[in-house]
Amino acid sequence: MYRFRPCLLLLSGVLLVMASLAATTAARTGTDRAFWVPAPPPPTMVAHYTFDGAGPEIWADSSGKGHTLTPVTGHATPELAVRDTGRAVRFPGPCRMSPCPRLVLRAATAPDLNPGVRPFRFGAAVRLAPNRTSKGQNILQKGYSTEGSQYKLQVDGRSGHPSCALVSGAAIHLVLARVTVADDRWHTVECRRHDGNLAVYVDRVAQGIVALPADLSVVNSEPLSLGGKSAFGDNDQFHGMLDDVWVAVG
């Protein structure tokens, strides 16, 4: 996450000191007495997947919220790959002849996975080779745009640019990153709703931003899905490796 550099502003005799490292804001009153306003609490992690457990614990939710994943497959078997000192999930490669292998990882819907109108963020570490891109690959999603409620992180097009989408009703709000992640290297990608905007981050750098309606709400009864929207044809299958997937609200 970003750390904001402390800055001093002198305006109408009021001194504001902002320092995120101190996580507080100080101000001077007319009586020269200081008061301290605590910074907002950090977001609450509601789902986190590292794929480093043993046996069934591979799919466990390390946030402690209990949103265990279940592999849903079609002509595929989940594969793990070594990443640093842990592991990542390797999804099926591109396929032009049926039956094609399909794999998604799903957690059942739950109230804490629905952010409503609150600020929230979600992301993952991804690795995708340039010869494995397609018209669209889902990394993480909950809900469907056709049903009027969704949040989604995906990799768009042959150029491999990540994008974030929020859907409420008929309106789809999409922000596309300026950079590609399809270079066969590990990248962190994050979608962040905050202060009336939706932003996409790649390797902790903002790469795109769009404004959102203040009343936009995302609540649905669909599962949280990683790597695709289903195990059937035309499922927007992710074709790379995935690790450290998370959702945080607040």
Q: pLDDT tens digits, residue range 125-165?
A: 999 999 999 999 999 999 999 999 999 999 999 999 999 99
In tens, the pLDDT along 60-96 reads 999 999 999 999 999 999 999 999 989 999 999 999 8
Whole-number Å distance between alpha carbons of 134 and 73: 20
Picking from 118, 113, 136, the residue whose alpha carbon sits closest to that of residue 237 is: 136
Picking from 149, 139, 138, 156, the residue whose alpha carbon sits closest to that of residue 113 is: 149
pLDDT the model gives residue 3: 39
Whole-number Å distance between alpha carbons of 19 and 230: 45
pLDDT the model gives residue 12: 38
Q: What percent of the chain has pLDDT over 70?
A: 84
- Is 21 a residue whose pLDDT tops 90? no
Local structure of 171: helix, strand or coil: strand
Angle at 176 between CA 171 and CA 181, to 5 degrees: 145
Q: Given CA atoms 206, 46, 165, 243 in this order, what sign does their dihedral have? A: positive
Picking from 159, 160, 94, 75, the residue whose alpha carbon sits closest to that of residue 126 is: 160
pLDDT band at 38 (very low <50, low <70, confident <90, very high): low
Q: Which domains does the chain have, with CATH numbers?
A: 7-38 (no CATH), 44-249 (2.60.120.200)
What is the per-residue burial (b if ≥16 Cβ within 10 Å, else e) of 174-208? Answer: bbbbebbbbeeebbbbbbbbeeeebbbbbeeebbb
CA 101 to chain centre: 25
Structure tokens at 29: 């009153």
Picking from 41, 114, 118, 125, the residue whose alpha carbon sits closest to that of residue 81 is: 125
Output the DSSP codes for 173-232.
EEEE-SS---SSSEEEEEEEEETTEEEEEETTEEEEEEE--TT--B--SPPEEESSS-SS
pLDDT band at 30 (very low <50, low <70, confident <90, very high): very low
pLDDT the model gives residue 232: 79
pLDDT band at 234 (very low <50, low <70, confident <90, very high): confident
Q: What are phi and psi of 58, to 5 degrees?
A: -55, -35
